Amino acid sequence: MAQQHDREHDRDPRGSLGYRGTEGEPTAGRSVASPVAPASGRVATEVAIAGRVGGIPANPFAVSDVRVRKAQAAGADVIDLSKGNPDGEPPEFMLDAAVTAVRDRANFRYPAFAGKPAFLQAAARWYARQYGVVLEPASELLAVAGAGVGISEVIEALIDPGDLVVMIDPYYPQYRGSTAVAQGRIHLVEAQPELGFLPDLQAVPERVWDEAKLLILNYPNNPTGAAATPELFAMAVRLAKAHHFTVMHDFAYAGIGFDAHPPISLLQTPGALDVGVELCSLSKMYMVAGWRAGFVACRPELMAAVRVVHEQTSLLVTSVVQDAGAAGLNSDQASVRALAERYAGRYETLRDGLSRAGLELVPSHGGLFGWLRVPDGWSDQDFALWLLAHPHVAAIPGSDFGPAGASYVRLSLLVPESVLHRAAERIARARGDAW
């Protein structure tokens, strides 16, 4: 299984094959001639591509990267707010731990499939200290090379072709992509702006829950910045128990909250461990996206299935990264709180600057992004293209996160406040009578 790069830079599964039809689309389900390397003189051969590849959607972040590179090649000075790539560095004590780990001879060997005991124990202590959740490191935790890898493994462990996955719209695009790889079906539940971009799970028809195999939640939410409430998680757990499905919570932005109370874990909910699985990432909490580390937490019966997939399809988290990650998890989390305050300040800078351009950022409770409503009369796709072409600011169209995002674009907070201020000023100057 190919490793993901920053989750925002996962390769386009279609493009990974290298074989495309005349219109640039993958030639899934039929034989095609492979390209001839000019210097090799090899004869082209026929390659049969799996039919399921045609059902895998394009990666919107890869598409955006292409647009940005083209604009830059044409001479544009682009402020790229399309990426979810941390712009800082981990705390010094984690760097020190990594340097020490590099010289530890024990780390020259392959790590255990499930993760180093010290890393899993650190994750268990982190859960206990931060959320009051007690987990058994050996049977209820699994080290993975980023939460995105864990998401893929959980979906592969649970979803057979034709199984139903319920997602909240808008959603992180990987959920759709990984479900497509497993050949599952999708039912979308629209997040309600009047509910703070949370879903009304009670309004979903009973027949949907009867069919559902998996419900995917993500809070603090990417892209909206919504925060889960205890009531939302309790309702999800109640429905899962009544209708026999699993709740997967993507907790990639744990600790990155803007409110007085930090973001909550699904597993704090009474009974959640009976039906739930949670994915955590070190990338965002400690600014180590390039290190690729996170963990999965769930009950032993489900973990056994996830580990079967993990052991056959995934690369292991390097030992050096696990040692440094353990140092982060064992810390007092002061560096994470400082990071959350930094992002909150950036959000406010962007919000205030865009308001002067007549634009409105949705109120955010955490995470790394601003969710911007596009002007009346604009589509999200057209507005994203306008932003790139005129003020030279790159954003992701909201519909790339699902149909409910069609009136929005997503902007990253992962640049300094001065850059966000400059981006907002550019937009205000370029506005003219565009809206």
pLDDT of residue 46: 82
Band of residue 39 on the pLDDT scale cut at 50, 70, 90: low
Q: Is 214 helix (H, G, I), strand (E, B) or coil?
A: strand
> 214 pairs with which residues across the strands?
165, 246
Look up tokens 């959350």; give the residue: 340
- Helix-helix angle 147-158:300-313, to 10 degrees: 110
How much of the chain is in helix, strand and coil states, percent to nearest 5?
45, 15, 40
Q: What angle do CA 296, 300, 284 make, to 5 degrees?
A: 10
Q: What separation in angstroms does the CA of 20 have from each of 29, 32, 38, 54, 313?
A: 12, 9, 18, 11, 25
29: closest CA among 2, 47, 43? 47
Read off the DSSP letter of residue 316. P
What is the pTM for the complete model shown? 0.88
24-33, 93-102, 170-179, 209-218: least confidently modelled range: 24-33
The percentage of the chain sitting over the pLDDT mark of 90, rounded to a whole number, equals 78
- The whole-angstrom separation of Cα 31 and Cα 304 is 38
Residue 20: pLDDT over 60: no
- The whole-angstrom separation of Cα 394 and Cα 387 is 6
The percentage of the chain sitting over the pLDDT mark of 70, rounded to a whole number, equals 90
Residue 131: pLDDT over 60: yes
Mean pLDDT score of the chain: 90
pLDDT in tens, 369-380: 999 999 999 999
pLDDT of residue 157: 97
For the chain, the C-alpha Rg in angstroms (whole number) is: 22
Q: Pairing mode, if any, of strands 369-373 and 360-361?
A: antiparallel
pLDDT of residue 315: 83
Band of residue 429 on the pLDDT scale cut at 50, 70, 90: very high
**Token pair in block for residue 216:** 């995917």
93-97, 104-108, 171-175, 212-216: least confidently modelled range: 104-108
Q: Which class for 181: exposed (0-12), middle (13-18), buried (19 or more C-beta within 10 A)?
A: middle
Residues with Cβ within 8 Å of residue 194, at least 6 apart in sequence: none
Domains and CATH numbers, the chain: 52-88+335-430 (3.90.1150.10), 92-332 (3.40.640.10)
**Token pair in block for residue 99:** 């340097």
**Token pair in block for residue 114:** 């499930």
pLDDT of residue 314: 83
H/E stretch holding 249 reads strand 246-251
- The whole-angstrom separation of Cα 16 and Cα 51 is 15
Band of residue 41 on the pLDDT scale cut at 50, 70, 90: low
Residue 37: pLDDT over 90: no
Residue 15: pLDDT over 80: no
Band of residue 55 on the pLDDT scale cut at 50, 70, 90: confident
Q: Is 94 helix (H, G, I), strand (E, B) or coil?
A: helix
Average pLDDT (387-408) is 97
Average pLDDT (19-25) is 32
Query: Which of the pair, 79 or 433, is modelled with greater confidence?
Result: 79
DSSP string, 374-388: PPTT--HHHHHHHHH
Q: Is 194 in contact with 153 (CB distance < 8 Å)?
A: no
| H-helix segments, 159-264 | 173-181, 206-211, 230-243
pLDDT in tens, 105-117: 998 989 989 899 9
Band of residue 58 on the pLDDT scale cut at 50, 70, 90: confident
Query: Which of the pair, 197 or 4, is modelled with greater confidence?
Result: 197
pLDDT in tens, 265-324: 999 999 999 999 999 999 999 989 888 999 999 999 999 999 999 999 988 899 999 999
81: closest CA among 346, 324, 318, 309? 346
Band of residue 3 on the pLDDT scale cut at 50, 70, 90: very low
Query: Which of the pair, 315 or 195, is modelled with greater confidence?
Result: 195
- The whole-angstrom separation of Cα 173 and Cα 61 is 9
pLDDT of residue 92: 96
- The whole-angstrom separation of Cα 330 and Cα 14 is 40
Q: Is 68 in contact with 403 (CB distance < 8 Å)?
A: no
pLDDT of residue 330: 97
H/E stretch holding 324 reads helix 319-330
Q: What angle do CA 419, 282, 8 make, to 5 degrees?
A: 55
User: Which amino acid type is present at position 264?
Assistant: I
Going 11 to 17 to 19 to 21, the CA torsion angle's sign is: negative
Q: Is 31 in contact with 343 (CB distance < 8 Å)?
A: no
Read off the DSSP letter of residue 48. E
Residue 10: pLDDT over 50: no
221: closest CA among 250, 245, 248? 250
H/E stretch holding 429 reads helix 417-431
Q: Which class for 261: exposed (0-12), middle (13-18), buried (19 or more C-beta within 10 A)?
A: exposed
Q: What separation in angstroms does the CA of 31 have from each of 45, 127, 246, 427?
A: 9, 50, 38, 48
H/E stretch holding 224 reads none
Q: What counts of helices (H) and strands (E) characterise the chain? A: 15, 15
- The whole-angstrom separation of Cα 244 and Cα 213 is 8
